[in-house]
């Protein structure tokens, strides 16, 4: 009986505390690139889901970066820091992009 009580009082809360925290929710970021092209990127964990201006979807994996972020996959590359991002599509030229800021309420 004392062992069961010990387990309930001492070990049960410790086991609950040791469980992994809930995963971070995905973060959706909209970018406007030079020439007016628009990208939507959903970041979650070590992956980024990129929707290009033509509506095609690509899954990119996080890469090692000295500073900022870098994702690559399926011929696409994203790298950047802060609001600035460079998107290089498959066999294309790099495009400079910025996050779209939400409109201010008046």
pLDDT higher than threshold 60 for residue 17: no
The arithmetic mean of pLDDT across residues 1-26, rounded, is 57
**Integer Cα distance of 12 and 65 in angstroms:** 40
* pLDDT single digits (tens) 45-81: 999 999 999 999 999 999 999 999 999 999 999 999 9
What domains are defined for the chain?
25-96 (2.40.128)
* pLDDT single digits (tens) 35-44: 999 999 999 9
User: How many C-alpha atoms does 100 have within 13 Å on its Cβ side?
Assistant: 15
Strand partners, 87: 78, 95
pLDDT higher than threshold 50 for residue 103: yes
């Amino acid at each position: 009986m004392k062992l069961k009580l010990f387990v309930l009082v001492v070990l049960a809360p410790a086991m609950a505390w040791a469980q992994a925290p809930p995963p971070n929710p995905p973060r959706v970021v909209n970018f406007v690139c030079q020439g007016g092209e628009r990208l939507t990127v959903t970041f979650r964990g070590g992956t980024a889901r990129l929707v290009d201006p033509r509506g095609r979807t690509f899954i990119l994996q996080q890469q090692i970066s000295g500073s900022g972020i870098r994702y690559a996959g399926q011929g696409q590359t994203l790298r950047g820091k802060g609001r600035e991002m460079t998107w290089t599509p498959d066999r294309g030229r790099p495009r400079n992009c910025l996050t779209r800021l939400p409109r201010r309420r008046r």
